[in-house]
Amino acid sequence: MDSRSGVISPGGIGFDINCGMRLVTTSLTISDVQPRLEELVNRLYQSVPSGVGSTGSLELDERHFRNLAERGPRAH
């Protein structure tokens, strides 16, 4: 996989066991995140849907979803 062009691989992150999945680009570094890691994890747990039948706040029509799936996260 070449991460420079964007990669979507739900099997690589636990999709098969119903883990939540999100794409994000950030300029944060580990030193920015480390002091607030517990808070970040808790907020992610509250915000990211997981499990069968879960839905998120972002709705993509078929055209936009296909574009994202084919071109990666930079397509949006």
pLDDT tens-digit map of 25-73: 788 888 999 999 999 889 888 877 666 666 666 788 888 888 888 887 7
| Token code pair at residue 62 | 């078929």
- Per-residue pLDDT averaged across 13-22, rounded? 56
What integer is the mean pLDDT of 12-32?
69
Q: In angstroms, rounded to a whole number, what is the distance separating the alpha carbons of residues 58 and 21? A: 12
Domains: count for the chain: 1
- Provide the residue range defining the domain that includes 19: 3-49+57-75
- Return d(Cα 15, Cα 27) in angstroms, integer: 26
| Beta-carbon-side half-sphere exposure of residue 8 (alpha carbons within 13 Å) | 15
Contact predicate 9/21, CB 8 Å = no
Q: Look up the pTM and report it.
A: 0.40
